Structure 1
């Protein structure tokens, strides 16, 4: 895809990059910050192993802003031919377009594929460059005749720029755990209400009686057998729903080589044989629960493998936040609390733009009310909903 923009900054040139391998990894990572999901190696692994690409509806179209040959700003960007793997659900918008004889796809989406993880999306050192990235994305949307442009799960300081541009804001929420300086897992349990504390302890005792133990395997220390077990569990989760995994074995093998210090496998063994596994990523402050699967149903195994073990790992390693992934009110009972998430949207069709804007106002009111009504799992006020 050939596209080049010359914004108001005379020294800047913005290009569309169809392969992230064309961009220098060090320069990209300097803009991306600490999030493992925005690292050049992570996004390159998705492309190199065929998890994203034009043939499966994820056409990379990253924006790169250069000055004198230096990469000064960037945006992870994709031309999408469906809405899978985004976790900001716009299927009803697509259906409304279809019923009016219009095409919602393709669309332009700024996101991390298959990863509903909040983080920076406008990778730049100042608001002027962030603004140029968004304005160029809107220009690209029109140039390609796409229906819409979307930015999913951005965090500050992106918000200030997005609020000043003609995009529509959409609210959402996830469940995250916040470390209040707990000395150990028992200290965390002591902060929960009595019924939730009792339930977690009972589940742990039942699993122990069934011969279940857990081990945390760092990416750098992992073995082939650990990854074989994880992928078998991961693929089985999809097979139960008669579908194929979005991420293939080669993708995880690539991450094991390129981002070993950001990977953690939480493996459940029963009588010494692995039966379940959770795949997590981490940075210096956060643990991100991403994928899981089990080869044997045991009561409480899912909650322990996916949530309790992640929380205990975070406490042990001094991490501040455990992100439990998208959706799931059941996570509230595990000590995770609702955290606001955000996305921004622009539709080319003015009629649909007005209708969606009215819908988003009602949806935001409903989400705020829902979050306020959720009963906190803690004996006192939970951490901020942020």
Structure 2
């Protein structure tokens, strides 16, 4: 079927019908095969999550993430495709680093900012970025890419950056002459384990003993662990967690990205998709990790603590997540960006993707040459990590 379409820019996710957005972002499917093996429900691209970012002022003009969502609609105004898009005045909160590109632009007397970022702000999680209804298909996707490029020209942005798309989207963007980049993260892959001991039995003996020792050491000194989800999560829990988040964020980034209101907003709209793992000592919460629950994956997002205890970070962030995923038959745990220490704790290195459209053809050519060599290095690094995996050989 051929669609007549028009391109529209929305200055807020609230301008877009939630049901229509979600029909693009998370189409109703019942099996992974129907979604080409991709996540069947990804909470981060849902209307509710993106609205929480905007409503809480975590994104907006003051943050340097200005919503300019690119939409493809039919003649009736129904949404066929969408891209969560932001006009950026800096390169923070993206987790795919292009600071060297920006520096080179500036040295050449050109303006790198503003740029267009197709992404979920502050969220290095792979997921669909070219959100297309099954009815829209390839035609609507092509219109969406065209719309992004037209919007880049209209805003006089230097470039378009699509970060953490699916591999299928990465390949499609490459066919559309975007430059392709790879990175890597560490994910736990559930091989159908019956329980946590089943996972441990898959590890080499020394690694198995280390994890058992760390888990035992984490819950000494009267520390207990709680899982909270849905209506169990109260504002008092968010108050405690926000204290953890602010402490970690201040030390790692200088200024945490998310406001306190953000956590209340997501609790109101996505509570069944949230898992808070909280550590308590002497009746007081001392540490916690925020996870989001997809149909096929558990996504670890933020961690923080107001007391230092040996191995507590590993227990609350990694081992509790693995245990939860096994119990609830989730296929994987995605524990966010960076962290080679995750490898020794049963997380495997996996590739991540980004695609870039650079307006200046001279810089595009130079960056493309760099990315070709960088992809080779990434492939070698992934192979090296595979050799270092803690699992039994053979």
Please indicate the TM-score interval, normalised by the length of the shorter structure.
Answer: over 0.9
Q: Which of 12, 27, 31 does residue 19 from structure 1 map onto?
A: 12
2:149 alignment partner in structure 1:
138
Q: CA deviation at 1:10?
A: 6.8
2:44 alignment partner in structure 1:
37
Where 1:228 maps in the other structure, the secondary structure is: helix
C-alpha distance in 2, partners of 1:91/1:148? 13
Uncovered stretches (5+) of structure 1, i.e. residues with no partner: 1-8, 382-386
Q: CA deviation at 1:173?
A: 0.9
Q: Does 1:115 align with 2:123?
A: yes
Q: Does 1:377 align with 2:390?
A: yes
Q: Is the 8 A contact 1:127 1:161 kept in 2?
A: no
Poorly superposed stretches of 4+, deviation over 6 Å: none
C-alpha distance in 1, partners of 2:183/2:158? 22
Q: CA deviation at 1:245?
A: 1.4
1:4 alignment partner in structure 2:
none
Q: CA deviation at 1:92?
A: 0.8
Q: CA deviation at 1:271?
A: 3.7
Provide, for residues 278-337 of structure 1, a one-character-per-residue CA deviation record: whole Å limited to 9, x for no partner: 011111211000001001111111111111111111111111110010111111011010
C-alpha distance in 2, partners of 1:353/1:101? 16
Q: Does 1:129 align with 2:140?
A: yes
Where 2:336 maps in the other structure, the secondary structure is: strand
Q: Is the 8 A contact 2:71 2:83 kept in 1?
A: yes
Q: CA deviation at 1:63?
A: 1.0
Uncovered stretches (5+) of structure 2, i.e. residues with no partner: 27-40
| 1:202–1:169 Cα change, 3 Å | same
C-alpha distance in 2, partners of 1:342/1:254? 29
Q: CA deviation at 1:242?
A: 7.2
What is the CA RMSD across the aligned residues, in angstroms?
A: 1.4
| 1:115–1:368 Cα change, 3 Å | same
C-alpha distance in 1, partners of 2:56/2:42? 21
Q: Which of 145, 149, 166 does residue 160 from structure 2 map onto?
A: 149
Q: Which of 229, 237, 240 does residue 229 from structure 1 map onto?
A: 240
1:36-55, aligned counterparts within 5 Å?
Answer: 36-55=43-62
1:205 alignment partner in structure 2:
216
Q: CA deviation at 1:241?
A: 4.4
Q: Which of 54, 66, 82 does residue 90 from structure 2 map onto?
A: 82
Q: Is the 8 A contact 1:175 1:323 kept in 2?
A: yes
Where 1:291 maps in the other structure, the secondary structure is: strand
**Aligned length, in residue pairs:** 373
TM-score by length of 2: 0.92
C-alpha distance in 1, partners of 2:361/2:373? 19
Return 104-113 or 50-59, whichever deviates more.
50-59
C-alpha distance in 2, partners of 1:239/1:339? 29
Where 1:325 maps in the other structure, the secondary structure is: coil
Q: Which of 113, 122, 130 does residue 105 from structure 1 map onto?
A: 113
Q: Does 1:253 align with 2:264?
A: yes
Provide, for residues 55-89 of structure 1, a one-character-per-residue CA deviation record: whole Å limited to 9, x for no partner: 22111110111112211111110110011111110
1:69 alignment partner in structure 2:
77
Q: CA deviation at 1:50?
A: 0.6
1:161 alignment partner in structure 2:
172
Q: Is the 8 A contact 2:170 2:354 kept in 1?
A: no
2:38 alignment partner in structure 1:
none
C-alpha distance in 2, partners of 1:161/1:132? 13
C-alpha distance in 2, partners of 1:204/1:286? 23
Q: Is the 8 A contact 1:176 1:324 kept in 2?
A: yes
Where 2:245 maps in the other structure, the secondary structure is: helix
Q: CA deviation at 1:229?
A: 1.0
Return 216-225 or 82-91, whichever deviates more.
216-225
Q: Is the 8 A contact 1:19 1:47 kept in 2?
A: yes
C-alpha distance in 1, partners of 2:194/2:51? 38
Q: Is the 8 A contact 2:114 2:157 kept in 1?
A: yes
Q: Which of 178, 188, 192 does residue 203 from structure 2 map onto?
A: 192
C-alpha distance in 2, partners of 1:343/1:81? 19
1:330-369, aligned counterparts within 5 Å?
Answer: 330-369=341-380
